[in-house]
Structure 1
């Protein structure tokens, strides 16, 4: 079993951006102290849902502030950056951290980022697989060239090369992306917006594609994200998050702006908060442990990463991390 914390670097009202970034780093340090195995940092642009525009940059800083935990990106958005440049960053962090860096990548969305960074909507809609293949080749072979629809360049050598074989984890919200990862033997990162049944279906789609392409699906170290908050009683924990989450989710989700004319209607923040509390380990220590064990049993995923910023208060976040480490993780580990 592996357990991590997932840090979107959530922009709650009432806190300055510097305070929020500092609080995220403090949460990462607290997670190491509490016995978590890793820390995963999200990338977002031009929105308060997440205040980190470069997950690799903040991961580098967190690697320097910690000694033991793995530090990863959940995720670096592949549609808005060059895959070989991302491979260079990943290799660099792998080398200087002694192998503690983890790379997670995703397609992203049809957002204004594509316009600002000049990659365009076609990269999002049609270029993901080509970019993913270049990223995997650069990290695995150390040399890479391209003659595709999106990328064309002569062969180059990756400098530095990773200190070990690196295989990115791929965020998937659809069976198509799960199959894309499975065909390449890459593990999945499954989001917090769906429950165990949907996660299990994506794992099954991945396994089918993996087998068809000669990969052993049992060897895929999938990662599942969820929200976590622990209090003395489940009612207390749920009340805290139902009050706090909409203050973040409302303005945060409204920050998604399509690059084209397609309509985008954000989720209702209150309903989404209720859903997250129902799906994930939000409750007493016993309830949290039981919920995590149920996810492990239903999905087969043995690496859970927990969004711990939901209370919207850095002190409460650090307290929840400490309680999860002391009162929940040992119970889950001992039962697995």
Structure 2
């Protein structure tokens, strides 16, 4: 049996952010010492009790303090990131982790995050954006030559070589990409269907009979 852990991370709003961050790093280091196989670190923007908007930064630091545990974004909320930029950040972090990184994705669920980023979560726009963003990210990683993507929410142009040296080059360390986990808490989740369609890792905190049956 393998053990993993999920860190929102959750802290009292009055806790100083630097101290909270150090506490989380200590927890990840302890989990590594105890033989945990993996740890997933959450991402939220408008929840004072979950004050981590950049799990990749925490992972980059935790890599320096751990040896074996796999570290994962749990999750990057795709509607709130430009897919071309996130594809590069994730690929870069995958190289730093040397096989110890997993890419968790989700659509988001906090109404306050929807408002901040002007996403219509009530109409399911966040789920549409997640599918489109993931499609773009995977296409960027798969393509060596130029391509153009025109979507509903984002347009991306992967350029041909310019001025003899400028071109796309940063593909993930793990091939074809790091393991991908898909998170959801909604009953009958459209986002979680992505995991089944593509063979990715399904993840959820919805541990009740009604959710599992859906």
Check conservation: 2:84, 2:156, Cα contact below 8 A: no
The gaps in structure 1 that reach 5 residues or longer are: 203-336
SS of the counterpart of 1:137?
helix
SS of the counterpart of 1:177?
coil
The gaps in structure 2 that reach 5 residues or longer are: 160-166
Task: Specify the alignment match of 1:63 in structure 2.
Answer: 63
In structure 2, the CA distance between the partners of 1:18 and 1:186, relative to structure 1 (3 Å rule), is same
Q: For the aligned residues, what is the CA RMSD?
A: 2.4
Which string of whole-angstrom CA distances, capped at 9 and with x for unpartnered residues, describes residues 267-295 of structure 1?
xxxxxxxxxxxxxxxxxxxxxxxxxxxxx
Match among 168, 181, 185 for residue 169 of structure 1: 181
Task: Specify the alignment match of 2:120 in structure 1.
Answer: 121
Which string of whole-angstrom CA distances, capped at 9 and with x for unpartnered residues, describes residues 62-84 of structure 1?
11221211100111111111122
In structure 2, the CA distance between the partners of 1:110 and 1:44, relative to structure 1 (3 Å rule), is closer
Deviation at 1:127, TM superposition (A): 1.9
Check conservation: 1:90, 1:101, Cα contact below 8 A: no
Return the structure number with greater helix share. Answer: 1
Check conservation: 1:110, 1:121, Cα contact below 8 A: no
Task: Specify the alignment match of 1:180 in structure 2.
Answer: 194
Task: Specify the alignment match of 1:97 in structure 2.
Answer: 97
Deviation at 1:121, TM superposition (A): 2.5
Deviation at 1:161, TM superposition (A): 0.8
TM-score by length of 1: 0.54
Count of residue pairs the alignment pairs up: 199
In structure 2, the CA distance between the partners of 1:149 and 1:190, relative to structure 1 (3 Å rule), is same
In structure 2, the CA distance between the partners of 1:79 and 1:29, relative to structure 1 (3 Å rule), is same
Task: Specify the alignment match of 1:145 in structure 2.
Answer: 148
User: Whole-Å Cα distance in 2 between the matches of residues 46 and 142 of structure 1?
Assistant: 37
User: Whole-Å Cα distance in 2 between the matches of residues 200 and 158 of structure 1?
Assistant: 41
Which string of whole-angstrom CA distances, capped at 9 and with x for unpartnered residues, describes residues 5-55 of structure 1?
211121126632222211111000000001101121111112222111111
Task: Specify the alignment match of 2:27 in structure 1.
Answer: 27
Task: Specify the alignment match of 1:321 in structure 2.
Answer: none
Check conservation: 1:142, 1:161, Cα contact below 8 A: no
Deviation at 1:186, TM superposition (A): 2.0
SS of the counterpart of 1:29?
helix
Check conservation: 1:146, 1:152, Cα contact below 8 A: yes
Task: Specify the alignment match of 1:254 in structure 2.
Answer: none
User: Whole-Å Cα distance in 1 between the matches of residues 144 and 90 of structure 2?
Assistant: 12
* Rg comparison, structure with higher value: 1
SS of the counterpart of 1:126?
helix
